[in-house]
Amino acid sequence: MKYRISERNPCPWLKHVSLALLIFGSLPGAAYADEGGVSYWLPGRFSSLAATPQVPGWSMAEVYYHTSVSAFGAVAAARQIQIGRIPATVNVSLDAHLNAQADLLLLNPTYTFGTPVLGGQLAVGITGIFGRSSASIDGTLTAALGPLFATRTGVIGDSITSVGDLYPQATLKWNAGVHNFMTYVTGDIPVGAYESTRLANLGIGHAAIDGGGGYTYFNPATGHEFSAVAGFTYNFKNQDTNYQNGIDFHVDWGASQFLSKQVFVGLVGYAYQQITDDFGQHPILGGFRSRVVGVGPQIGFLFPVGDMQGYLNLKGYGEFAAENRPAGWNTWLTFSISPMAPTSTVAPTRRIVTK
């Protein structure tokens, strides 16, 4: 497949940026919501230039992800109920504080096809994870069954260093000048380290499927860019606990300004909202629908690596408006290598991108 670049889009090097920023379509559930506070979808997976086309061929991205979150009340209660296997017939009151951290390394090989599919550009990949997750609950648990009750005060802590689930993904993208469109599908193959009675896990214990679409506006003449990607997650039942998370809706966005062909700066953000109730939760938790909003800065650099294209990006989010979910902050450091755009595509013509 050959690309012809119009004067409205004379920057094929941007395809390398879009690849690195798009690979987050299959990251692990290190964030917290749903059963015991753990969801499949990790807000912040998509950001700037998510829907722009890429150079065909193999690419590899490595991501270091760090998060630190905390919560009180129902979220801490949910974790305690899960690991303690407290039945629904027992009334529970928990005055506690949950803290959790994760340091993860993610590897994402992706292949972008050169032959158009439905007039768009198809890419497929899979993400694997290795890292450490830790969590602790500090507080008082009171459980009552009729006239009988028991109280326990103290700290419960747990940590694990292992591998996580696998996350396949596929994207299909279309370009029309400064407008770019995409659709995607991803999911969870639950093969990672998981035990229902552990406080910290790297797997989520159940399968999930997620799909949606996105849009990117990019004007290379001004360097202005804006992207937004929205989707829904359907969660399958956790057979170990008979718990099924509700359906989740999420929007990730990014806005950037290119200072040169090698450097851009901007903002990133997300909104996450669970739209249906969980099933199988303790009655004290109610529907246990989760919500969180995050926003923060980003900076990106492009540079050659031999005959390949290198890309480095740093972005961070501060979270707020959380409900039934811990809030805190997270950072993403991404390094990727992808094919260099053919030099023949650098010379601009007056034609829209064609395939």
pLDDT score recorded for residue 152: 64
pLDDT score recorded for residue 253: 97
Helix H, strand E, coil C: the string for 212-236 is EEEEEEEECCCCEEEEEEEEEEEEC
CB atoms within 10 A of CB 20: 28
Query: Structure tokens of 166?
Result: 């696998």
pLDDT score recorded for residue 286: 64
Count the alpha carbons within 13 Å of 298 in the hemisphere toward its beta carbon.
30
Summarize pLDDT for 6-34 with one digit per residue, the tens. Answer: 334 445 545 544 444 443 333 333 334 35
Alpha-carbon distances of 127 from 15, 250, 330, rounded to whole Å: 20, 20, 19
pLDDT score recorded for residue 187: 96
Per-residue b/e over 171-184, b at no fewer than 16 CB within 10 Å?
bbbbbeebebebbb
224-235/248-258 β-pairing: antiparallel
Alpha-carbon distances of 223 from 1, 52, 164, 226, 319, rounded to whole Å: 26, 14, 38, 10, 28
| Beta-carbon contacts of residue 131 (< 8 Å; ≥ 6 apart) | 65, 102, 103, 104, 105, 161, 164, 202
Give CA–CA dist 249/310, Å, rounded: 33
- Rounded to 5°, the CA angle 294-41-107 comes to 100
pLDDT score recorded for residue 193: 94
pLDDT score recorded for residue 327: 84
Weakly modelled stretches of the chain, pLDDT under 50: 1-10, 13, 16-33, 344-355
pLDDT score recorded for residue 90: 56
pLDDT score recorded for residue 150: 64
pLDDT score recorded for residue 342: 76
CB 243 within 8 A of CB 261: no
CB 275 within 8 A of CB 306: no
248-258/263-274 β-pairing: antiparallel
Alpha-carbon distances of 102 from 70, 98, 329, rounded to whole Å: 12, 14, 11
pLDDT score recorded for residue 136: 84
